[in-house]
Structure 1
């Protein structure tokens, strides 16, 4: 077991160096049914003996959604079968155990893993006895097994989850506006309009994980602004529940295979008519940081179909003011000179995006 030596696109080189690397495909990092950790960890000459029986927990990555959907999918199985053993995790290159994200510890607590069982691999180890489970579900196209959903439901009962009953809960990304993360322009206005209709609106990043899950489990209709918070629903099992996803990136189907077996109805709404994005050096759009423009007709129609007459409280002028404030803030942050982008190409790209979206009046705000 070795520390992570390199990481790209949430795929790490490190962790268990299985003796038969090719034959251990089911225990490696898989996406869509295929291993994506192409190279085995480099084996150093010196390895510290680790005599304590252990389980393989996964890679402690700093992204909430990817940890749940890819790197923490063994944790509950490991705890359920071998909760008395140490659980080994690797860290991202250059990170220390003290920098492990808060959500990591909250997720482990939700799965019933005692903190004193956790060990971080900070030097090469030769582990005498290691127990490992295949990934319980995978990023795209591989749904969870029924037995894993049973395990999740038993875990929720064991943790004493008390659902917060609500007809409709909207899981917002409006808090991302302040830092220009990917979000819908003017989403704070949408939040306020939904509250007027009696919808429960939550910003999951502002509350403990257990409270998020109580809202998720108690909602008859759970509406997500497309993003990482959707993966929090993977910490729960089945429910007679409708989940609606408002796409901020057209055509996306995040967590489709993960959510379908868990809920009675899953709907993706193409609520975006376009995006504006800066460009990485090399010309690739930075889509996870793009700002999205609502298709208002689709947005209002979708809520109408859900029994929420959003059009009756919608003020077009107030929304446009909120939209333009968000875009100006996004321009200021995303095109800041310190951003690691192709600035000249990004200015041109955003200029074209805004013109194509009929927002020519905002082009003057470009640096």
Structure 2
């Protein structure tokens, strides 16, 4: 039997409110997520609520004392508008395509937190508007819920996939395949593309030198932040082989169907940081995970946990060379240890300067943890620089 899309839940006369919190975690509470539609029979709802691993994790929004707006036309609920690229695409973007496919004339509803200053489409991040354009949602049919609004007819598609939990169904991938072909047509893939984080402070130390090596053997190099979203996707689609330095750019692959060639992830952290592997495996011809990590230099959170999402990754040089040789032996032959280490140290100093301006660096034991990690990873020569720049570093 042919696989179908999940069932759309439909409701009458539902109040939709802005978010109080979106994916907020504190030291004393689980993940908080509160806002959007005030659904009837809340505790019995599953697919229409925000889920991870197939279970709702959101909280029933408060009933407002006054509802000042009303939408009488059919509407589709599409989850929050959020400032984080990855969460927007993966957590909050997977209801949209089924919605616009089954209800092309409807109004498409999003909401943000009240303090985000998002009241219209013009207030949203550029990548949000690019995502809507990719899925084919007309701008004039988009409404940002900025105050309590009563919706006469609300349709809620299920999340097509979840960050933690289910991967995409064949039926959903069919829809994505059609989107890709509509934008780019059919092409013959060719070449290898390295998707780099060298322009980011939270990168793999020495990555600018790796860019140079890759380019020297004919591998294309892309810093995705330099291009609009659609152009990033075009490059991913055209490449026969994709090599990603693990990070936020990976989330763009959720916008693509079975149109990814051979896919390699160079891991910058001990694990692939929550990325659901099944989602990649269903999209790509093959998937490979390469761990060349010696360790992370990172600070601490105020809740006492390690701040790994704002770390810089320090490669194991021997493991890195082994991997580069598997791609093209010429990179090993051209390896210049001094130039690599100069690039690595430059990236670590840049990271320290960014860290020094990060309010989180004031957390207890954060600077001490940074220095300890540097010493453990053979970066003792950079410790004076860290002490000079980081809070309570006790001077150089």
- Displacement of 1:158 in angstroms is 2.1
Aligned counterpart in structure 1 of residue 243 of structure 2, from 223, 235, 249: 223
1:30 corresponds to = 51
Aligned counterpart in structure 2 of residue 268 of structure 1, from 281, 289, 296: 289
The CA distance in 1 between the partners of 2:81 and 2:188, in whole Å, is 30
Secondary structure of residue in 1 paired with 2:240: strand
The CA distance in 1 between the partners of 2:86 and 2:329, in whole Å, is 29
Which of 338-347 and 71-80 deviates more? 338-347
1:317 corresponds to = 338
Aligned counterpart in structure 2 of residue 20 of structure 1, from 37, 41, 44: 41
1:172–1:161 distance in 2 versus 1, CA, 3 Å: farther
Contact 2:300 2:364 in 1 (8 A): no
**1:41-63 Cα shifts (integer Å, max 9, x gaps):** 11112223221211112111111
Write the mapping of 1:296-315 to structure 2, written as runs, cut at 5 A.
296-307=317-328, 309-315=330-336
The CA distance in 1 between the partners of 2:188 and 2:311, in whole Å, is 33
Contact 2:167 2:276 in 1 (8 A): no
Secondary structure of residue in 2 paired with 1:46: coil
Contact 1:88 1:121 in 2 (8 A): yes
1:252–1:141 distance in 2 versus 1, CA, 3 Å: same
- Displacement of 1:335 in angstroms is 2.3
Ranges in structure 2 where 5+ consecutive residues have no aligned partner: 1-15, 26-30, 389-396
The CA distance in 2 between the partners of 1:62 and 1:191, in whole Å, is 29
2:220 corresponds to = 200
Contact 1:277 1:350 in 2 (8 A): yes
The CA distance in 1 between the partners of 2:188 and 2:35, in whole Å, is 40
- Displacement of 1:187 in angstroms is 0.8
2:144 corresponds to = 120
Which of 104-113 and 264-273 deviates more? 264-273
Hey, which bits of structure 1, 4+ residues long, moved more than 6 A? Answer: none
Secondary structure of residue in 2 paired with 1:89: strand
The CA distance in 2 between the partners of 1:207 and 1:51, in whole Å, is 39
Write the mapping of 1:151-190 to structure 2, written as runs, cut at 5 A.
151-161=175-185, 165-176=189-200, 180=201, 182-190=202-210
1:54–1:195 distance in 2 versus 1, CA, 3 Å: same
- Displacement of 1:274 in angstroms is 0.2
The CA distance in 2 between the partners of 1:350 and 1:111, in whole Å, is 42
1:321–1:155 distance in 2 versus 1, CA, 3 Å: same
The CA distance in 2 between the partners of 1:184 and 1:160, in whole Å, is 32
- Displacement of 1:304 in angstroms is 2.4
1:50 corresponds to = 71
Contact 1:152 1:237 in 2 (8 A): yes
2:87 corresponds to = 66
Write the mapping of 1:247-286 to structure 2, written as runs, cut at 5 A.
247-252=267-272, 254-286=275-307
- Displacement of 1:221 in angstroms is 1.1
Name the TM-score, length of structure 2 as normaliser: 0.87
Secondary structure of residue in 2 paired with 1:246: strand
Contact 1:2 1:41 in 2 (8 A): yes
Name the TM-score, length of structure 1 as normaliser: 0.94
